[in-house]
Structure 1
Amino acid sequence: MALMQDFHFLRPAWLLALPLLWGLAFWLARRHGRDGAWAHVIDAELLPALRLDGGGKPGRSPWSWLVLAWTLATLALAGPSWERTPSPAFRGNAAWVVVLDLSPSMSATDVAPNRITRARYAVDDLLDGARDARVGLVVFSDEAYTVTPLTDDVATVRALLPPLAPDIMPTAGDRLAPALDRAGRLLAGAATAAGQVVVLTDGFADPAAAFAAAGRLRAQGVAVNVVGIGGPGLVRAANSAPLDVDRLRQLAARGGGRYTGLAGVPALIGDLQASAGHAGMTRARQDVRVAHWLDGGVWLLPVLLLAAAMLARRGWL
């Protein structure tokens, strides 16, 4: 009873081919009857006189064997299964938290079309490069907010990116330290050996607190990487302060990460992937086991080979 309850086909769509194959075999049997194709070119009265004497033995037909072979092949391709087997699986434990600046200065247009749009493009590139790493998203202005906790559902994180803009924040400000602390709490709950924080900002108003928060993350084994959002050099955009590259570099140094501009995001993604791969080889979680259904179609192959061998006999027609 347990066998019947668990029995199913892994690829049931192949069963749709059975009626077609049976119909084809029936049509071929009717078309190639006892008289073969000669019945179409020789008169029915003359054909018995031309047929060779078979010694009284009835002619042998391959059609039953052909139907059997086709049926067995189709059933094997459909993948009959009735048994599960557990197997070990490996899951990387890398985790990235993206910290996105939504302060008013991110509306500046010194980079086309504006800083926040270019930052969202960079976040989208990070999501593309995440692979099997879990990704979380934190935004900040005067306060920090978690948009998504750590998740491997990158599509959901990407779907939440378009509405993110400075005008959705309840209060204006530019305090990075609360966002770094929030990112640290997300990573602390993930028990990851490859935690990375990527800050996308054009600057922050609390350097002492931000440097201290970056240092705390580094002490926890989490690297703080910084992507400067703004034009090349010290560009003063309308309604914004100039991009202070030295301060951003100092933040990355305090956090044990690297600083890059928008053009260096692909290289940063490569470094993050390399770090995740190294951590996966050294401290991959090996306690994960996945149960999968065994494909029983292999047991039909010996009978299929026997049927194919019978079809190779001489004198079927």
Structure 2
Amino acid sequence: MHFATPLVLLALIALGAGIVAYVIVMRRRRRTAAQFANPALMPSVAPRGPRWRRHVPLLFYAIALAVLVVAAAKPEKTVAVPDERASIMLVTDVSGSMTATDVAPNRLSAARVAAERFLDEVPKRIKVGAMAFNNRPRTLQRPTRDRAAVRDALRRLEPSGGTATGEAIKAALQLLRPPLKLGEKAAPAAIVLLSDGKSVTGREPVDVAKEAAKAKVPIYTVALGTPAGTIEVPRGGGRSGTVTERVPPDPETLRAVARISGGRSYAAGDADQLSAVYDRLGSQLGKKKENRDIGYLFVGGALIALGLGAASSLTFFGRVV
């Protein structure tokens, strides 16, 4: 919590000084009264006073005044709210290794289901786009608030070819950071990159991640699959049949891409983990920090303290003040 006008809080010093003065006056009155009567005779010549009860209403009124001073200083709380200008690109690897079944029913199907869950978590006013990549990137849907269009795009994901992660990041970056007009500010943007394999062609992913960092577009990476993942590929040399090929994920490169760009990296060994990752991302992305005035809470507290002061005064002395 912080204050928009903190200098107003200096009034609390005056309030504290008033309380000290009140205590001094009360003690002086007791000493003055004691000078005119024998303490042993006081109960018989003077009625029993209210003692501590006289201070209770004033204590509540002092608390109310202090809380009102805090409210006048305009207390604010920083909260994360959806940034309606934000855009997110879902960039999904559709290389042949995504047919591996170490994530049931296979990596690509699990990625598609999890991405749709991600759409449920992202605030409705945030634009989301979809891109697929293997040897080259392919834009399936430009950033839009139309969730049905993005879901249709995700259903068109089909596995084939190799992996060009750097090219995919570059293409997504160009979509999210088009040339700006004079005086125009870039909208918040982020890339969610899901891949299971090592980039084998095109730009180096780490080099493109540096460009993303300069453009202030964080990349959130998800390494899908397990080291034991395999696929069946045709035999070479014109021979019939297939051979089993290992397709482990490449979490090291993906972690580097996330770190350099200012994003975060995740590893998902199964479909449940992947869905959980997307749930977390959906609640994190497309947010901005905003100051919210919470002075009304202090005003409410002051009114409660005033009410308690009035109630105690009526109870003890039959009057409000």
With normalisation by structure 1, the TM-score equals 0.54
Partner of 2:276: 266
SS of 2:131's equivalent in the other structure is strand
From 165, 168, 177, the counterpart of 1:179: 168
1:196 has 2:202 as partner: no
SS of 2:283's equivalent in the other structure is helix
Partner of 1:134: 127
Aligned counterparts of 2:274 and 2:101: Cα–Cα separation in 1 = 20
Q: Note closer, same or farther for the CA distance 1:269–1:217 as it changes in structure 2 (3 Å cut).
A: farther
1:162 has 2:155 as partner: yes
Deviations 1:189-242 (A, max 9, x none): 3965321100111022259611111110111000011111113xx224233421
Partner of 1:150: 143
1:255 has 2:255 as partner: no
SS of 1:278's equivalent in the other structure is strand
What is the deviation of 1:270? 3.4
1:276 has 2:286 as partner: yes
Q: Is the 8 A contact 1:227 1:265 kept in 2?
A: no
Equivalent residues in 2 for 1:27-176 (5 A)? 92-131=84-123, 132-167=125-160, 172-176=161-165
Aligned counterparts of 2:97 and 2:84: Cα–Cα separation in 1 = 37
Aligned counterparts of 1:235 and 1:198: Cα–Cα separation in 2 = 24
What is the deviation of 1:99? 0.5
Partner of 1:221: 216
Task: Write the letter of the residue equivalent to 2:167.
Answer: P
SS of 2:264's equivalent in the other structure is strand
Partner of 1:11: none
Q: Note closer, same or farther for the CA distance 1:256–1:138 as it changes in structure 2 (3 Å cut).
A: same
What is the deviation of 1:243? 1.7
Q: Note closer, same or farther for the CA distance 1:237–1:179 as it changes in structure 2 (3 Å cut).
A: same
Q: Is the 8 A contact 1:110 1:230 kept in 2?
A: yes
Q: Is the 8 A contact 1:235 1:243 kept in 2?
A: no
Aligned counterparts of 1:240 and 1:141: Cα–Cα separation in 2 = 18
Task: Write the letter of the residue equivalent to 2:166.
Answer: A
**Gap runs ≥5 in structure 1:** 1-89, 283-317
Aligned counterparts of 1:208 and 1:152: Cα–Cα separation in 2 = 30
SS of 2:248's equivalent in the other structure is coil
Q: Note closer, same or farther for the CA distance 1:109–1:164 as it changes in structure 2 (3 Å cut).
A: same
CA RMSD of aligned residues (A): 2.4
**Gap runs ≥5 in structure 2:** 1-81, 232-244, 292-321
Task: Write the letter of the residue equivalent to 1:161.
Answer: L
Task: Write the letter of the residue equivalent to 1:107.
Answer: T
Aligned counterparts of 1:103 and 1:267: Cα–Cα separation in 2 = 21
Aligned counterparts of 1:196 and 1:252: Cα–Cα separation in 2 = 11
Q: Is the 8 A contact 1:105 1:202 kept in 2?
A: yes
Aligned counterparts of 2:175 and 2:246: Cα–Cα separation in 1 = 30
Task: Write the letter of the residue equivalent to 1:148.
Answer: Q
Q: Note closer, same or farther for the CA distance 1:164–1:275 as it changes in structure 2 (3 Å cut).
A: closer
Q: Is the 8 A contact 2:130 2:154 kept in 1?
A: no
Aligned counterparts of 2:283 and 2:85: Cα–Cα separation in 1 = 12
Q: Is the 8 A contact 2:167 2:202 kept in 1?
A: no
